[in-house]
Structure 1
């Protein structure tokens, strides 16, 4: 690391608050430990958990940096002991437990994927958190299989847009909910088979009209009072997968319905899972999804980019709720 600077720019707020706490500061360039890579960051994805962390509602897991940012793309510039030496000097996209809003970030080598030439660094930075989350929850926990019908809430979010794109690549019928006619139109343009404007109609009635016998999987980031409504649209052997709780962390459910339809209720978080789990998931993605990235059949939807120094504007954009796809921070010119 002798050719690297000792300090870097980063977003590392000292206290919780609104977007205005996201200001540039100087921090030491981190050093990679065993099995880790140091990445010179070109771009970093912005995700809903970053906002929760900024607000003081989602602290980093033990050992993770206080700097927010769960996904980056950049070039590997240094290796820790035991890290994959083949990655030195190569462009990678990486899933992090934190630290992405900075010029340099650390990632376990097992949480990195090579950036294919078909993707820009901005596109690559928009992928790890959503790909790992959607694959783990929709396809593994939810067991979505070709020919099945799935309901995805938040269809124009980063998670939602990737779920649409992967769903079509893996021959699912995809129903989404979104807020407003324009967002529904965008979702259908991406490949959603049906898009329901939850502001204008009851999504339960709309889904039942589309699939009277019930659907197979719900991928839910809403929680709260949506949970029993989701169960109402599931068919026999249906699976409900919770990944966030934007409308509340508790719900009352009809247990007889769960029993009669033999439903499965599951869910997960990703950030606190260990490196071994994430490495296994990376290996699965490399086998199943990376080929679609390499040939250009899968690329993320980018809503907007902001320089690192305007991270506050990026968070404000996400909190406004008008975005479609991913918001990304870029390091050059910040």
Structure 2
């Protein structure tokens, strides 16, 4: 089969298409003929070996696939053969075939576009957890969504609107991305990257100004650096910020326990793998898919690339030239 293989760690240039042996499903796995595989910002860290889980070479990246089941392992459900699924995988998604755990696979409708399913299973479920599990956003609260035109952000803005956030403040880096965030339901859209040039205080002032001169209740943060710093400073008493990425590759400030006590703020982190270890993927996906069917949520697909164009997809993602979900199509 054709797959994208990483044989040395580095940037987009290390993503090389090759012919490799077909994978075999493990005992509880399904073998899927891939229609589309998702590209995530975390994949750019994976190819550098700078992400949370250490990587081993050679590596086929890719954490999510959509496709049709062609074989089931001995302990997997054989009745799933022939069904379409969307699945999360530890690795191996950038390929024509992928062995996926049945435990992280969800059967999907025949008419659901593969790219849309990719947009929901990792980034959509992440957005769900950021608002429901991590920050426990309540109706009427203000919510800041950084990188609002990205894969997680486009879903988070829509979920915050459906769950009756009081004011949604979206951050995006270009005019087109800000227009997209507004179209998805944001009340105010700002360019936090421009404010970052003025340091943490400028980011804080921008967010508070966007919230009618009031500190904010909830922040979804994945940038780092002074975006993290300023977002923390903009939090109201009892405000919560959750960190789910480090796109700038710059760490933010250290937060002292006494400062958390004095301000009654909460700062947390989120990695989907930890949530998956606790189970619950299928009910969340069922909720998201039902919202799609009802017209309450839409997947934003920002680019479709051939499998052999994985390097170009990574380059576009790192340069912030894309919006929404990027997918590779074998």
Fold equivalence (TM over 0.5): yes
Q: Name the SS for the 1:174 alignment partner.
A: strand
Aligned to 2:264: 262
RMSD of equivalent CA atoms: 2.4
Kept in 2, the 8 Å contact 1:64–1:98? The answer is: no
Query: Cα gap change, 1:59/1:76 in structure 2, threshold over 3 Å: closer, same or farther?
Result: same
Q: CA deviation at 1:77?
A: 1.2
Name the structure 1 match of 2:219: 218
Q: C-alpha distance in 2, partners of 1:38/1:255?
A: 48
Of 248-257 and 285-294, more deviation after overlay is shown by: 248-257
Provide closer, same or farther for how the CA distance between residues 285 and 161 of structure 1 changes in structure 2, counting only shifts above 3 A.
same
Q: Equivalent residue for 2:199?
A: none
For the Cα contact (< 8 Å) 1:148–1:216, is it kept in 2?
Answer: yes
**Post-superposition offset of 1:240:** 1.2
Matches within 5 A, 1:50-65: 50-58=43-51
For the residues of structure 1 that align with 2:191 and 2:25, how far apart are their CA atoms?
46
* 1:266 Cα offset (Å): 0.9
Counterpart residue number, 1:158: 151
Tell me the residue number matched to 1:139: 132
| Cα distance change on mapping 1:65 and 1:298 into 2, 3 Å | farther
Partner of 2:290: 291
Q: Is 1:330 matched up with 2:324?
A: no
SS at 1:289's partner residue? Answer: helix
Aligned to 1:11: 4
| Worse-superposed segment, 37-46 or 10-19 | 10-19
CA distance in 1, matches of 2:153, 2:172: 9
Provide structure 2 residue ranges, at least 5 long, that are not aligned to the other structure: 196-201
SS in 1 for 2:93: coil
Cα separation, 1, equivalents of 2:317 and 2:34 = 21
Task: Map 1:13-32; keep pairs closer than 5 Å.
Answer: 13-32=6-25
Which runs of structure 2 are paired with 1:1-334 in the superposition (5 Å)?
8-58=1-51, 66-117=59-110, 119-172=112-165, 173-201=167-195, 202-209=202-209, 210-247=211-248, 248-253=250-255, 255-271=257-273, 273=274, 276-277=277-278, 279-280=279-280, 282-331=281-330
The unaligned stretches of length 5 or more in structure 1 are: 1-7
Indicate if the aligned counterparts of 2:149 and 2:181 stay in contact, CA closer than 8 A.
yes
Q: Is the 8 A contact 2:125 2:285 kept in 1?
A: no
Q: Secondary structure at the match of 1:127?
A: helix
1:29–1:275 Cα change, 3 Å:
farther
| In structure 1, C-alpha distance between the alignment counterparts of 2:61 and 2:245, rounded to whole Å | 18
Alignment correspondent of 1:3: none
Deviations 1:203-231 (A, max 9, x none): 42232122444222111101233333212
How high is the TM-score relative to the length of structure 1? 0.88
Aligned length: 321
In 1: Cα distance, 2:57 partner to 2:293 partner: 31
Q: Check conservation: 1:149, 1:215, Cα contact below 8 A.
A: yes
Greater CA drift, 26-35 or 42-51: 26-35
Give how far 1:181 is off. Answer: 2.8
Deviations 1:45-95 (A, max 9, x none): 111111112223238557998210011111111112332344221111111
Task: Using the TM superposition, give the Cα deviation of residue 114 of structure 1 relative to its aligned residue in structure 2, in angstroms.
Answer: 2.2
C-alpha change, 1:274 and 1:226, in structure 2 (3 Å) is closer
1:296 and 1:43 mapped to 2: Cα distance? 23
